[in-house]
Amino acid sequence: MPSTESGNLRKDRGHLASLQSQGAIAISQTPLVVILGPTAVGKTEISIQLAERLDGEIVSADSRLFYRGMDIGTAKPTPKQLSRVPHHMIDVADLDQVWSLTLFQRAAHDAIRGIHSRGRLPFLVGGTGQYIRAITEAWQIPEIKPDPQLRKALENWSSEIGTDGLHSRLTKLDPEAADKIDYRNLRRTIRALEVILRSGRLFSEQRQHSQSPFRTIQIGLSMPRTDLYARIDARIDEMLASGLVEETQTLLDMGYAPDLPTFSAIGYREIIDHLQGKITLEQAITIIKRRTRQFVRRQANWFKRDDPDIHWYEVEPDTMADIETILRFWLTQD
């Protein structure tokens, strides 16, 4: 009996052949391979192996990897992994610098075009849904300039009602936008409210799509939820063993304020609460694992299993080889 992956491979070949026969592939566009999926599913190693075999370079679409010094808690690729193929959009900012979606979109476009100009294949890799969609769907992000006074007022309001309280106000105004913003991410919650209040329009309605300059193929990696949760728990245990507490303390000792938006990343916020004596280390670990599982469920809202643009593969021993085969076939269509 043929395996599921073999069936997926035949299905993808047929789909690509159909696109070719219909003239739906624009051969003038820059090819872009997108590797996406939930946290801890194995995107890093699979994408590196594919880039090694297909002469590629990797552009990170994980917003947590932008920041220098946040290594252990973000599961940033190791120096050895980074040395195997060129990586972009990793360690591009200090913790007190906020990288907006607009800034990422511009920098990612530049990186992708630079990779293509060198005759290599760009891979966009990550699990941050809005960053991937901003590239694959060519979002036209609303140009609402920051309003310092309004932002300060919203920050003061959040101090009174809490970050989750402010997020609940956003839910009432724009449930679609709120559903895609972590309730602990104060910066993004404030930005969504700022755009709504300044423009008088829903935040979720203002991201218009345009024709992408890239010819993309999206590869989704998945595994049974119970297996994924086990990998998440094991990875968090490894983070603690590798020095997550010490890394967080070092960043605080460098003078970074504990309430920086970048510290809202899962893992750091909880360890800071522990270091401040608010919770025990055991409680912090329990919360990190629970919030990471919640994060995985939110990621699923961005990457639907029935999305016809995403070719899904269960992570198994032969998965990488199957994906390599379909990518080589896809590249011949250029």
Stretches where the chain sits below pLDDT 50 are 1-6, 11, 14-15, 18-19, 21-27
Distance CA 70, CA 74 (A): 6
Per-residue pLDDT tens digits for 158-214: 888 988 899 999 999 999 888 878 787 788 899 889 989 988 888 877 666 778 889
The confidence score (pLDDT) of residue 21 equals 46
Helix (H, G, I), strand (E, B) or coil at 172: helix
CB count, 10 Å around CB of 121? 18
Please give the domain boundaries of the chain with CATH numbers for all domains: 4-138+213-332 (3.40.50.300), 148-205 (1.10.20.140)
Q: Supply φ then ψ for residue 261, to 5 degrees.
A: -55, -35
Residue type at position 196? I
CA 328, CA 93: separation in Å to the nearest integer? 35
Please give the DSSP secondary-structure letter assigned to residue 125.
E
Q: How high is the pLDDT of residue 311?
A: 95
90 CB contacts (<8 Å, ≥6 apart)? 60, 65, 66, 76, 77, 82
Q: What is the pTM of this model?
A: 0.80
One-letter amino acid for residue 120 of the chain: R
Taking residue 245's Cβ as centre, other Cβ atoms within 10 Å add up to: 16
User: Exposed, middle or buried, 1 (CB in 10 Å: 0-12/13-18/19+)?
Assistant: exposed
Query: Which pairs from 324-327 meet CB under 8 Å and 24+ separation?
Result: 324/50, 324/53, 324/54, 325/9, 326/9, 326/12, 326/13, 326/16, 326/217, 326/219, 327/33, 327/50, 327/54, 327/217, 327/219
Beta pairing, strands 30-36 & 214-222: parallel
